[in-house]
A and B are shown apart, each in its own frame.
Chain A
Amino acid sequence: MNNVIANRLTKSFNNVKVVDDLSFSVDEGEIYGIIGPDGSGKTTLFRILTTLISPDSGSCKVCGFDVTKDYKAIRNVVGYMPGRFSLYQDLTVQENLDFFATVFNTTLGENYSLIRDIYVQIEPFKDRPAGKLSGGMKQKLALCCALVHRPQILFLDEPTTGVDPVSRKEFWEMLKNLKKIGITIIVSTPYMDEASQCDKIALMQNGKFLRVDTPQNFINNYSGKILSVKSDNIYNLLEDLRTYKSLITAFSFGECCHLSSMYNEIDIDNLIDYLIKRKHKNIVISEIIPSIEDCFLSYLNR
């Protein structure tokens, strides 16, 4: 029963619908990623699912319990890691863990096996106040605290925001291990590259899910071509590509630009002529397999 079933959830603040008529389901033991730009309503959705706020309308069952009626039962079976680091900064690592274990009527020893892999990494600092840990360490401690009562579902609100790439990678490895134990994980992130790590992705914007699918299907269903374009003058390149033809989208991707069109094929020779006229040199154009980020950007721009 480690699942979530939401039916037409709606929540507005000051007449702005932050979560707008949202229905979805999360199956047991999957990593469900909610990807979307800042302000798309991810955090509000998490706060509804973790019973911190109640929806204006619609219903939602978490582990079989209703978020409005049985919120007390839900609090025993979910773990929540808010986007902002919110542990007691003046308590040590050890004290924080003991505290949250006690709050959930358990002890650190009882569920040690679950968090051991993560805890050993912060154990050398266990007598240090949580406020004095580095960003990645804080993240690990917060994850330990969210897991200390052996939750069935873990809610992670932007867990990797502001964390370095190495720690991010480690963090996702940890999540995969937790998935193996059977914990359902619902995670939000603004980073598109993390999406491919999820079993299922919901693309969220303006309180709605634009599309829910597996990462592979997102790519497979992408219709159209992606061209990677490079030239000496990157600064002007993006502008020139955007004015090349209507119905074409262009984004800068590191040192090259990705160019895509959902509707018509792009004639590469014509494009090269156009760029030469615009005084670009050393032009390299190649067709690439779309990445998940390409798919999202094209969706968000529709």
Chain B
Amino acid sequence: MIRFLLEKEFKQIFRNKFIPKMLIMMPLMIMFVLPWAANQEVKDIRLGVVNYDNREISNRLIDKITSSDYFILVDDYLSAREANDAVERGDIDMILEIPNNFEKEMIRSHNVKVMIATNSVNGTKGVLGTSYLSSIINDYSNDITINHGIIAGKSNINLSVKYLFNVLMDYKVFMIPALIVMLLTMLSGFLPALNIVSEKEVGTIEQINVSPINRLTFVLSKLIPYWVIGIVIMSVCLIVAALVYNLLPAGNVFTIYLFSILYILVVSGLGIVLSNYSDTMQQAMFVMFFFVMILMLMSGLYTPISGMPDWARYITIVNPLKYYIEVMRSVYLKGSTFFDLIPQFYALVVFALFFNCWAVISYKKRN
């Protein structure tokens, strides 16, 4: 019986004019375009300099700054006011102001102040730019002190930062596992739910309801095709990640599959719950948009959870996406094993049970 129902579902999916194309387009877009676009690296910050000192040491600092990839020297300004105007016009993003007696003070006391001003309309750019610039200046000040034969023991602390698990701080490595999660949420969670709602809307579900088919068989016949499609497309993504981005999971691929299957159970359960409460596609779509927004933005996909206020962090505890993203990232980047991920495993099992029980209870063949 279920075999025949599945045959019918696959027939309908592949006979649809749009869905098969979308099934190909969506992973392609996500795997080839988004890793480049969903990127928080900041490059080419436009810098304006106000150099009141204008001697060798200060000029060499500016050379050092502009020789990096991160900054482009737009112009020298004669006064701070002129530079501020340039920021307001949008010509430059940052101002570096070097005081009059910079070189003299540097040699005499190794203690001078420079001023950095940043246009923070784009927050990320502002924060990252400031931190890049200060680290370059710190670096430079260390060089100077050493070059001049002064032992800089008392005030200088050498910071050396090493990015564990992602040595080059490559955002693509960080984003791809999370993007696969997003794809799986849409394909295996929300697509079957919309399918069920459309049967409601067209009225065909009435015909099914007066038949002896039991509810579990019917729901499974809706879910299994999308589980299969989800897993197949995820596999394609893993292969693309390996071939195109040279990104291989540091951990075991089977760990990824195990958690993916578990996660699919969670989202499809959630999808069925939503479909049970929706009578029209419009209503279902709207509720799903809501969930997609909340689940994505509160999952650590784009912004780290550690940066959220406490109350928001508590909300993320009930976000299944968060756990799965954690799993994907740690398996891919850290090479975590199943035993490292036991807490996430339990969390996902609880979600799967919760949503699927709710789905079964709320699914009514009669009311």
Q: Contact string, A56-87, partner B, CB cutoff 8 A, digits 1/0?
A: 00000000000000011001101010101111
Contacting pair B208 A103 (CB below 8 A) = yes
Q: Does B366 contact A (CB under 8 A)?
A: yes
Task: Determine if A52 and B12 form an interchain contact, defined as CB atoms under 8 angstroms apart.
Answer: no
- Please pick, from B204, B207, B212, B367, the residue contacting A80 in the complex, using a CB distance under 8 A: B207
Given the contacts A76-B212, A145-B207, A99 and B8 also touching, CB distance less than 8 Å: yes
Which residues of A are found within 8 Å of B206, using beta-carbon distances? Answer: 52, 80, 82, 86
Question: Quick check: is A121 within 8 A (CB to CB) of the other chain?
Answer: no
Considering only CB atoms and an 8 Å cut-off, how many residues of chain B contact the other chain?
Answer: 21
> Given the complex, which residues of A lie within 8 Å of B1, measured CB to CB?
102-103, 105
A251-283 vs B, Cβ < 8 Å mask (1 yes, 0 no)? 000000000000000000000000000000000
Q: Does B209 contact A (CB under 8 A)?
A: yes
Q: Is A95 an interface residue (CB 8 A)?
A: yes
**B202 contacts which chain A residues (CB < 8 A)?**
86, 89
Contact assessment for A103 and B211 in the assembled complex, using a CB-CB cutoff below 8 Å: yes
Give the residues from 200 to 216 in chain B that come closer than 8 angstroms, CB to CB, to chain A.
202-204, 206-213
Report if A10 contacts B (CB, 8 A).
no
Given A53-B367, A82-B203, A87-B204: A102 and B212 interface contact (C-beta under 8 Å): no
B10 to chain A, nearest CB (A): 12
Q: Are A82 and B366 in contact (CB under 8 A)?
A: no
Shortest Cβ gap from A78 to chain B (Å): 7
For residue B364, give the distance in angstroms from its CB to the closest CB of chain A.
10
Asked if A54 CB lies within 8 Å of chain B CBs, one says yes
- Cβ contact within 8 Å between A80 and B210: yes
Q: Does A51 touch B at the CB level, under 8 Å? A: yes
User: Which residues of A33-67 are within 8 A (CB) of B?
Assistant: 50-54
- The A interface is mostly helix, strand or loop, or mixed, namely loop
* Contact between A78 and B367, CB atoms less than 8 A apart: no
A145: chain B residues at CB < 8 Å are 207
| Distance between Cα atoms of A99 and B202 in the complex (Å) | 17
Q: Are B207 and A82 in contact (CB under 8 A)?
A: yes
Find out whether the CB atom of A86 lies under 8 angstroms from the CB atom of B207.
yes
Closest chain A residue to B367, Cβ basis: A53
How distant is the Cα of A80 from the Cα of B11 in the complex, in angstroms?
25
A-contacting residues, B314-367, CB 8 Å: 366-367
Output the least CB separation between A253 and chain B (Å).
35
With a CB–CB cut-off of 8 A, which chain A residues contact B212? 72, 75-76, 103-105
**Which residues of B from 161 to 212 have beta carbons under 8 Å from A?**
202-204, 206-212
Contact check, A75 vs B204: say whether CB atoms are below 8 A apart. Answer: no
A91/B11 in contact, CB under 8 A: yes
A103 touches B213 (CB 8 A): yes
Could you say which of A51, A54, A100, A102 has the most chain B C-beta atoms within 10 Å of its C-beta?
Answer: A102
Q: Which residue of B lies closest to A77 (CB)?
A: B212
B207 near A100: Cβ-Cβ < 8 Å: yes
Closest A residue to B203 using CB positions: A86
Q: Would you give the shortest CB distance from B125 to chain A, in whole angstroms?
A: 49
> Taking the complex as formed, is A88 at the interface, i.e. its CB lies under 8 A from any CB of chain B?
yes
Chain B residues engaging chain A, CB cutoff 8 angstroms: 1, 4-5, 8, 11-12, 15-16, 202-204, 206-213, 366-367
A-to-B contact residues, CB < 8 Å: 50-54, 71-72, 75-76, 78, 80, 82, 84-91, 95, 99-100, 102-105, 145
Ordered by A's residue number, 28 sampled pairs between the chains whose C-beta atoms are within 8 Å are A50-B210, A52-B366, A54-B366, A72-B212, A75-B210, A75-B211, A78-B210, A80-B207, A80-B210, A82-B203, A82-B206, A82-B207, A86-B202, A86-B203, A86-B207, A88-B12, A90-B12, A90-B15, A90-B16, A102-B1, A102-B4, A102-B5, A103-B5, A103-B208, A103-B212, A103-B213, A104-B211, A104-B212
Given A88-B12, A100-B207, 4 new contacts (CB under 8 A): A82-B203, A84-B203, A86-B206, A90-B15
